[in-house]
Chain A
């Protein structure tokens, strides 16, 4: 459909259209009406400010009001905001209406220059730069150029050194949690130790490692220690012998921190035995040691080996066998 047709010229430009006068240009009554309208708009703005001040000073902060669509809401905040909105909005509306109806609306034509400078100016610029450069003499004095480069480069890069104390080096931090062999599993919140009989088949428990008295649990610890305890019927497991030995009478423990991007994976579907992470919908199969069956997660959730201690409470048999949480370069994931 495209042709290299030499006669592709636009129709001739008819020029700026005739100016059409507005009602307010020809009829003084209309102009007066427009003036009245503008002043009403500005007055509405003033009323808005009054409402704003009234709401701030005289409507108590805890006053509630019922309005259709809003249900019950806070009257102080609502009228404060409406007052402010009115005050601002009508100034604008007044100004615009004034411009539209009363200010001159003749279209004006301005002319463009070509953006680029004239050739003589460009040549003069190039000559000036060349002149200045030769006066600096960098070209003739390579020693200055190189040593200047060295100095600038060094001083430019060195402040990066000051950023070193932004934080500690990770070292082996990402591979370790507070779970050690013999650490008791306690409820979150509540810090109560758990017996196997406390958990029913089809039940879950949010769990943290027991902290010795005096040690405070911080968010940093929760971010790596959180564990989900799930109980299913032992015959429903589909695990190899080693992983099966990490469970206890149908109770299995997984790190709650998603192996994808670290959200808390706690959505347990009792009927399908699937764990769903609500962030990116990674789905893990509990019966197969949290194997990923859907979604962007690439690794199963780390499983915590559990058993009972001599008082009958659930304890960790060993620390996690791999790093919990999202992947990182130095993570040994094999």
Chain B
């Protein structure tokens, strides 16, 4: 045993100045740190609490979660305080949208709530939604299964509607756009159909409300269908370059196009050896 240990340390000693020794140590250090962190994080995850599916207990469980996680900004009775608006009357749809997309609870008190990893799981979100809905009537939440956008939506009409009602904030290809003072309209790509629907219905933060009498239910389904089409549409001309238009195209022409050509020009005019 001692001999093999000796051999091992002898090996390390002999090759300690090898030119790969440094990079190898760095790589193993990084690996160790990464694996260690992942394992440590997994070990500290909280145990999930199983909630019952009874409606009344759902509401009371929602109230509990609300008191724990939301009341510090939104008030003990959801009446609102300071920058956090009142939640009375916003309906289950608002809660489902804000909480399930991770916008709420807000990560920091900046210009607007950004989409991120949701803090609460499906059960907890449903409980919160039920609680807020119980405070006052408001738009009901909707599930992906209830939205028959593939069947009832019209892609072409959805495109027209998107360009008239949505593109001015969310960009012609749905990539998102700038609002004033650092606010922004986020990208609509990679969003679940129900969240697109709920956003249109509830008008979160700076987004206006698109009531069903102004933008009908079928029209909303068409918008969703168009968004989903563009999301999965292959970029037919090659690399999409972010789909943000002439600015990136100009940058690519200068940096890639002219860069390559000037590089070749330098090669062309240098004498051969």
The reply to whether A and B meet directly (CB within 8 Å) is: yes
Which residues of A line the B interface, CB within 8 A? 20, 22-24, 64, 69-74, 77-78, 81, 96, 100-101, 105, 187-190, 194-195, 197-206, 230, 264, 266-272, 274, 276, 278, 281, 283, 294
Contact B214 A187 (CB under 8 A): yes
B114 shortest CB reach to chain A, Å: 15
Contact B203 A73 (CB under 8 A): no
B229-273 interface bits toward A, Cβ cutoff 8 Å, 1 = contact, 0 = none? 000001111111000000000000000000000000001100111
Residues in A neighbouring B216, C-beta threshold 8 A: 190
Contact A198 B213 (CB under 8 A): yes
Once A22-B273, A71-B240, A96-B268 are accepted as A-B contacts, the answer to whether A268 and B208 lie under 8 Å apart by CB is yes
The CA of A136 and the CA of B219, in the complex, are separated in Å by: 80
Q: Of all chain A residues, which has the CB nearest B165?
A: A206
**Chain A, interface SS category:** mixed
Set A20, A64, A190: member contacting B271, Cβ < 8 A: A20
The CB with the most chain B CB atoms within 10 A, among A77, A100, A199, is that of: A100
B168 shortest CB reach to chain A, Å: 4
Given contacts A70-B238, A195-B213, A203-B203, 9 further A-B contacts (CB under 8 A): A69-B239, A70-B235, A71-B234, A72-B235, A77-B238, A198-B213, A200-B211, A268-B208, A272-B206
A73 shortest CB reach to chain B, Å: 5
Contact A204 B164 (CB under 8 A): no
Once A24-B272, A77-B238, A189-B164 are accepted as A-B contacts, the answer to whether A203 and B180 lie under 8 Å apart by CB is no
Residues in A neighbouring B181, C-beta threshold 8 A: 272
Contact B209 A202 (CB under 8 A): yes
Contact B168 A73 (CB under 8 A): no
**Chain B, interface SS category:** loop
Contact B161 A269 (CB under 8 A): no
11 A-B pairs with C-beta separation under 8 A:
A189-B157, A189-B160, A194-B214, A198-B214, A204-B208, A205-B214, A206-B164, A268-B208, A269-B180, A271-B206, A283-B180
Contact B214 A278 (CB under 8 A): no
* Interface set, chain B 156-176, CB cutoff 8 A to A: 157, 160-161, 164-165, 168-169
Task: Give the 10 A-B CB pairs with smallest separation, nearest first.
Answer: A198-B213, A72-B234, A203-B209, A269-B206, A204-B208, A100-B272, A266-B168, A202-B209, A205-B214, A200-B211
Once A70-B235, A270-B205, A276-B180 are accepted as A-B contacts, the answer to whether A203 and B214 lie under 8 Å apart by CB is yes
The CB with the most chain A CB atoms within 10 A, among B207, B211, B214, B240, is that of: B214
Contact A278 B177 (CB under 8 A): yes
B69 shortest CB reach to chain A, Å: 23
Residues in B neighbouring A278, C-beta threshold 8 A: 168, 177
